[in-house]
């Protein structure tokens, strides 16, 4: 029996960046009808390989073959022409345009003026066929992340792509949305398309993939199938050592209330009330985890706590000092550190160097700044220490932050926020997009921070993460607090029901 010619074959792909060998003679292939998962730590070279395939980067060495023929893909338009589509790690839709306009954007045969009503008709057809619920008329900025992603998929289907690349498509989805997405992806594969799926969630990879390839430091270190492997083995292949999947955690030694939220009201972007009479206390030395399906006010709550979003009612107290309505700088001065969900927007300045981002928040304090002058040696020393301690993968501390891989940017923000020795830490989605080794490290650091006496509020759509970290589990639904349970007394089914708005 001969194996059929693969839809895609990468042969010896090598890509260098200054100081980094991002891809090192990578061989990889995808058959029609197959979902091939690509795994690897943050910075292993997954996105780089996919960007080469999609024409966003050009390889230094190696050849791409499509259906057995050498293909020269030097620009994304070449890739689109050849039937490739890519769903990026960071969304690429234009927020101010409608769904239909976004789908039509860049279509080769659409000419200058696009007939969006015929596009809308086709979108409706595709949504019915694949079970993708999206309204073609809505503006993209109004959509939740899960909906935005469905738009990206519709865009790919609209162009009848043969090969779909998904770079961490599930990082921002709820468990429910992930299930729906998997059904759609399997349908696409059954239509003889090829799919490349990148994810840090090993359960998902084992559930979805037909084949799994692992990259480490730019090289392929192994290829396997879900039925022939396990989470532990995949983790070991990725990291190169055994990984402890849940941290050691002693019972909490909690003290007095350090963060008090009283009857908080916050408005969302669409002008409706996002946080509604929300009250909770977080004591020093404990982790309170807020579970909930995305879009139930978690983002607005976190932003209000950080001083980034106006409060329309209620109070926030840090160590008995009221900080309601304070600026982000004042809140930080009062002892609150913040790990934002939207890290490229709220967490770092992409054009700044790693060192600059590491001191971003205390850049006008000693010892980094005296009389308005930055002390570069102190900045550099601290940056080197933090990069080492938090294992941020970067060629140098003077590298532009935007060029780091997604997970490494998250580690950079955590390094900065935890090293501020806060009294209260608010962390939104602390390990989203982070690899399994780094997630282990971040969880361990959060528990250490708790044991130092910090009051920690973790907001996460990943229920497993909440259950791993929290001493108290709270559930948020439609802006309201549904319940708080002691971790030891948690029944997972009950939490699930509360997350869906029932059971209280």
Ligand X SMILES: Nc1ncnc2c1ncn2[C@@H]1O[C@H](COP(=O)(O)OP(=O)(O)OP(=O)(O)O)[C@@H](O)[C@H]1O
Query: Which stretches of the chain bind ligand X, using CB under 6 A?
Result: 17, 20, 22, 40, 42-48, 89, 393, 403-408, 435
3-state secondary structure 113-162: CCCHHHHHHHHHHHHHHHCCCCCCCCEHHHCCHHHHHHHHHHHHHHCCCC
Instruction: Show Cβ contacts of residue 155 under 8 Å, excluding neighbours closer than 6 positions.
Output: 85, 102, 103
Counting contacts by CB under 5 A, is residue 47 touching Mg ion? yes
Instruction: Find out whether 396 and 358 touch, Cβ atoms under 8 Å.
Output: no
Nearer to ligand X, 209 or 288 (CB): 209
Among Mg ion, ligand X, none, the one that 45 touches (CB under a kind-dependent 5 to 8 A) is ligand X
Residue 88: CB atoms within 10 Å = 18
Give one DSSP letter per residue of 58-88, joined into a string.
Answer: --SEEEEEETTEEE---SHHHHHHTTEEEE-
Task: Compute how many residues bind Mg ion; rule: CB under 5 A.
Answer: 1
- The whole-angstrom distance between residue 414's C-alpha and the CA centroid of its chain comes to 14
Among Mg ion, ligand X, none, the one that 24 touches (CB under a kind-dependent 5 to 8 A) is none
Least CB distance to ligand X at residue 215 (A): 7
Among Mg ion, ligand X, none, the one that 212 touches (CB under a kind-dependent 5 to 8 A) is none
Counting contacts by CB under 5 A, is residue 199 touching Mg ion? no
Least CB distance to Mg ion at residue 488 (A): 37
Least CB distance to ligand X at residue 404 (A): 5
Q: Which 366-385 positions form the footprint of Mg ion (CB under 5 A)?
A: none
Nearer to ligand X, 39 or 301 (CB): 39
Least CB distance to ligand X at residue 244 (A): 20
Q: How far apart are the first and last CA of the chain?
A: 59
Least CB distance to ligand X at residue 431 (A): 12
- The span of 44-52, 279-287, 410-418, 434-442 binding Mg ion (CB under 5 A) equals 44-52
Nearer to Mg ion, 434 or 476 (CB): 434
Q: Which residues pair with 477 in a beta bridge?
A: 480
Give one DSSP letter per residue of 290-319, joined into a string.
Answer: EE--TTSSHHHHHHHHTTSS-EEEEEEEET
- The span of 43-51, 58-66, 139-147, 319-327 binding Mg ion (CB under 5 A) equals 43-51
What's 98's DSSP letter?
Answer: B
Instruction: Find out whether 439 and 235 touch, Cβ atoms under 8 Å.
Output: no
Counting contacts by CB under 5 A, is residue 276 touching Mg ion? no
Report the chain's C-alpha Rg in angstroms. Answer: 23
Least CB distance to Mg ion at residue 417 (A): 22
Least CB distance to Mg ion at residue 43 (A): 8
Q: Which residues bind Mg ion (CB under 5 A)?
A: 47
């Amino acid at each position: 029996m001969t194996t059929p010619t693969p839809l895609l074959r990468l042969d010896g792909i090598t890509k260098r960046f200054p100081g980094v060998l991002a891809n090192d003679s990578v061989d990889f292939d995808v058959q029609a009808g197959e979902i091939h998962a690509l795994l690897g730590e943050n910075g292993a070279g997954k996105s780089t390989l996919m960007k080469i395939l999609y024409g966003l980067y050009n390889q230094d060495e190696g050849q791409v073959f499509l259906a057995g023929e050498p293909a020269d893909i030097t620009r994304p338009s070449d890739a689109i022409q050849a039937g490739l589509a890519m769903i990026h790690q960071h969304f690429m839709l234009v927020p101010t345009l409608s769904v239909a306009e976004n789908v039509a954007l860049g279509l080769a045969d659409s000419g200058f003026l696009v007939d969006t009503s015929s596009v809308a008709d086709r979108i409706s057809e595709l949504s019915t066929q694949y079970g993708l619920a999206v309204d073609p008329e809505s503006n993209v900025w109004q959509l939740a992340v899960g909906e935005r992603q469905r738009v990206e998929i519709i865009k790919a289907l609209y162009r009848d792509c043969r090969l779909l690349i998904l770079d961490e498509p599930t990082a921002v989805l709820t468990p429910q949305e992930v299930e729906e997405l998997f059904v759609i992806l399997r349908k696409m594969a059954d239509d003889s398309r090829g799919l490349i799926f990148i994810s840090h969630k090993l359960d998902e990879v084992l559930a979805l993939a037909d084949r799994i390839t692992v990259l480490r430091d730019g090289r392929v270190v192994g290829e396997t199938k879900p039925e022939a492997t396990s989470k532990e083995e995949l983790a070991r292949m990725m990291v190169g050592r055994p990984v402890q999947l849940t941290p050691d955690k002693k019972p909490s030694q909690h003290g007095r209330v350090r963060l008090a939220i009283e009857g908080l009201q916050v408005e969302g972007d669409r002008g409706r009330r996002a946080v509604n009479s929300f009250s909770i206390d977080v004591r020093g030395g404990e982790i309170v985890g807020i579970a909930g399906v995305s879009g139930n006010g978690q983002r607005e709550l976190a932003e209000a706590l950080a001083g980034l979003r106006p409060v329309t009612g209620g109070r926030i107290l840090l160590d008995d000092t009221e900080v309601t309505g304070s600026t982000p700088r004042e809140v930080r001065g009062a002892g609150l550190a913040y790990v934002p969900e939207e890290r490229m927007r709220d967490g770092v300045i992409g054009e700044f160097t790693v060192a600059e981002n590491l001191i971003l928040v205390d850049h006008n304090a000693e010892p980094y700044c005296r009389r308005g002058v930055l002390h570069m040696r102190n900045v550099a020393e601290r940056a080197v220490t933090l990069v080492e301690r938090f294992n941020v993968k970067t060629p140098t501390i003077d590298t532009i932050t935007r060029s780091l891989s997604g997970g490494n940017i998250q580690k950079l923000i955590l390094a900065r926020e935890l090293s501020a020795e806060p009294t209260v830490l608010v962390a939104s989605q602390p390990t989203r997009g982070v690899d399994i080794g780094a997630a282990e490290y971040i969880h361990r650091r959060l528990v250490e921070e708790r044991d130092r006496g910090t009051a920690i509020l973790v907001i996460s759509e990943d229920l497993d993460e909440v259950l791993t970290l929290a001493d108290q589990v709270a559930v948020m639904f439609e802006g309201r607090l549904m319940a708080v349970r002691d971790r030891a007394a948690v029944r997972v089914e009950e939490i699930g029901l509360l997350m869906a708005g029932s059971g209280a």
